[in-house]
Chain A
Amino acid sequence: MIKLTLEELKYKANDIRKDIIEMLLEAKSGHSAGPLDMADVFAALYFYVMNHDPKNPQWAERDRFVLSAGHIAPVLYATLAEAGYFPKEELKTLRKLGTRLHGHPHRGALPGIETSSGPLAQGTSQAIGMALALRMDHSRSRVFCVTGDGELNEGQCWEAFMFAGKNKLHNLTFIVDRNNIQIDGYTEDVMPLEPLRDKFEAFNFHVIEVDGHNVRAIIDACNEAKAVFEKPTVIIAHTIAGKGVDFMEGRFEWHGIPPGAQDVSGAPDKKEQGRIAIEEIRTLRGQIKGEHE
């Protein structure tokens, strides 16, 4: 069980972001925006909220983490490495032949990966299956499932939410990365989700909305979910796509590409993107010296 202080969590999220950029630069393909914007949520989950043991990934009493939005795998890999599930050097093998860090997570390939994911929405149902099984076995473990917001276009999500509401799966918490972007554009242009809170409430969820970059608020929301016994909980984490790198923030163009691969309007020359991104993250855009590691 790892419990960092709020200050330490802020730095841990920063380390995760730096890992993500370095991995993507090395891999030369992969997603940037989602992994960066979920770094604070992942830091809070793996370094404060969840019961887990990196030295014993199959520990029966662990909380389960299901990444339904498989394409943001870099943030999961970086977080698992930071937590000690596998050596950090291995992050550089992302997407390369023979790697355990596949483009999308593969259960069994790497310690700490509970499910395979990529085709969207599949994690929502699997998380339900896990929550059901844990409840049947009178386990106190909880299930956390991260989905994207564009992912909610998938019908399977709503089949799953209907089932979770019906069965009052209070040991299950969904966290939606509400970054407002998907591959083809802004979510409200591609397929509007709002009023999203109302949709979840109509499906019998306890809904909490948080600033997805406020680690304290994320922890509080996860604690609040533990106190709700009649409903599953969804935490809508309002995030800024590409958080931490100025030229990526809020831009859907960065959904599915790595830094350094192509010139994007409003961004630095592709040769400079990686260096600038790392420098901005390392120093929190000049706020700190970046010597905390």
Chain B
Amino acid sequence: MQDLHLNPNIGSENIEQEPTRKGYGEGVVEFGASDERVMVLTGDLAGSTQVLEFGKKFPNRFVEVGIAEQNMMGIAAGLALSGKVPFVSSYATFSPGRSWDQLRVSVCYSEANVKVAGAHTGISVGPDGATHQALEDIAITRVLPNLTVVVPCDYIQTKQATIALGKMVGPAYFRFAREKTSIMTTVKTPFEIGKAQIFREGTDVVIIGSGPVLYNGLLAAIELEKEGISVMVVNNHTIKPIDSETIIAAAKKCGAVVTLEEHQIMGGAGSAVAEVLAQNYPVPIEMVGVIDHFGESGEPNELIEKYGMGKDSVIIAINKVLSRK
């Protein structure tokens, strides 16, 4: 197994935390400094999508579009078709939520080199409530031809993904969270689009998860190890094109799968895993995520628990899937 140089503090109460969106803000600045074609567009959300610094450093390449997500996506397509590398920055509920048709036709159908950054995803957006908690964005993006879809697991990986997707030629969507989340990787951890990462080896069951909530999978694995259950954990950061090879190999090795995501289980990252396994190597699967429900206001950790994506929910899912083996 490749050494991923993961954070040695995984499982410790002192694990470092940063919001993934901060990784985006730093990533576009770093990438923007290296490539003059890079532009950032925002729809009156420069602060909360963390692109103010880019705007200060590169004012001529920063476009304030106002609260007009459809126009923003279309302008980005026009810029991309003219040789620029635009990053579209907004909340995922608005973009691609409100601009899906523009993403579909202006960007994906034309293969315009646009990078769509969806902030404030997952139920952990918290107090703003259901309207601002994107729980459908993976479903509506991964269905689009030509589009790469990435869900980085932490702050460091978000920065890596921002730069990697910027260098890649082609349309991409990637999402981040509002709150600070546990940092599972380190700057030495490699990141490759389309290559899932085995965060933890195991033989009884594999958790295949996406996004910061994967940390709850790691916590569950650590706890179950004490009970003699060997849990493999895979960070499936690229939803599309999905790493079928790693997923099938993990299913063969463990014979049971739990998927984990901060998204509706219908059409989300877990569904993508299920599609791969159903067609190649069917094994029992339990899916952890939001089950056909809108969110609500509350503290992020309260919401994660209430909607069944905490460590205990993962353990319940593991026990259930083991009973079906």
Residues of A within 8 A of B (CB): 64, 66, 106-108, 114-119, 121-134, 136-137, 155-156, 159-160, 162-163
Contacting residues, chain A, for B81 (C-beta < 8 A): 107, 114-115, 126, 129-130
B79 touches A129 (CB 8 A): yes
* Chain B residue at minimal CB-CB distance from A126: B78
B101 touches A133 (CB 8 A): no
B105 touches A133 (CB 8 A): no
B76 touches A129 (CB 8 A): yes
A160 touches B74 (CB 8 A): yes
Interface string of B66-91 (1 = CB under 8 A from A): 10101111111111111110100000
Option from A66, A125, A136 in Cβ contact (under 8 Å) with B102:
A125
B83 touches A125 (CB 8 A): no
Q: Which of B20-28, B106-114, B119-127, B280-288 contacts A (4 or more CB under 8 A)?
A: B106-114
A-B contact pairs, 14 of them (CB 8 A): A115-B106, A115-B110, A116-B109, A119-B104, A125-B73, A126-B81, A128-B78, A130-B79, A130-B81, A130-B82, A133-B79, A133-B84, A156-B68, A162-B66
B75 touches A122 (CB 8 A): no
How many residues does chain B have at the interface if contact means C-beta atoms less than 8 Å apart?
A: 30
A77 to B73 alpha-carbon distance, docked (Å): 26
Cβ of B63 within 8 Å of any chain A Cβ, yes or no, is yes
Option from A64, A129, A136, A156 in Cβ contact (under 8 Å) with B77:
A129
Contacting residues, chain B, for A133 (C-beta < 8 A): 78-79, 82-84
Contacting residues, chain A, for B323 (C-beta < 8 A): none
* Chain B residue at minimal CB-CB distance from A107: B110
Contacting residues, chain A, for B76 (C-beta < 8 A): 129
Number of A-B residue pairs with CB-CB distance less than 8 Å in the complex they form: 109
B78 touches A156 (CB 8 A): no
Cβ of B2 within 8 Å of any chain A Cβ, yes or no, is no
* Chain B residue at minimal CB-CB distance from A161: B71
Cβ of B65 within 8 Å of any chain A Cβ, yes or no, is yes
Contacting residues, chain B, for A128 (C-beta < 8 A): 71, 74-75, 78
**Which of B70, B83, B102: most chain A CB closer than 10 A?**
B70
**CB contact list, B95-154 vs A, under 8 A:** 101-102, 104-106, 109-111
A51 to B263 alpha-carbon distance, docked (Å): 49
* Chain B residue at minimal CB-CB distance from A68: B74
Contacting residues, chain A, for B14 (C-beta < 8 A): none
B106 touches A136 (CB 8 A): no
Cβ of B279 within 8 Å of any chain A Cβ, yes or no, is no
User: With A107-B110, A116-B110, A160-B71 given, is the CB distance from A132 to B105 under 8 Å?
Assistant: no
Contacting residues, chain B, for A131 (C-beta < 8 A): 78
Contacting residues, chain A, for B101 (C-beta < 8 A): 119, 122
Option from B61, B78, B82, B110 in Cβ contact (under 8 Å) with A125:
B78
Cβ of B60 within 8 Å of any chain A Cβ, yes or no, is yes
Contacting residues, chain B, for A106 (C-beta < 8 A): 109-110
A116 touches B71 (CB 8 A): no
A124 touches B74 (CB 8 A): yes
Contacting residues, chain A, for B73 (C-beta < 8 A): 125
A127 to B75 alpha-carbon distance, docked (Å): 7
User: With A106-B109, A119-B105 given, is the CB distance from A125 to B71 under 8 Å?
Assistant: yes
Option from B68, B78, B102 in Cβ contact (under 8 Å) with A132:
B78
In addition to A64-B82, A125-B72, A160-B75, 12 A-B residue pairs with Cβ atoms within 8 Å of each other are: A107-B110, A107-B111, A108-B110, A122-B105, A127-B78, A129-B77, A129-B78, A129-B79, A129-B80, A129-B84, A162-B66, A163-B65
A114 to B77 alpha-carbon distance, docked (Å): 11
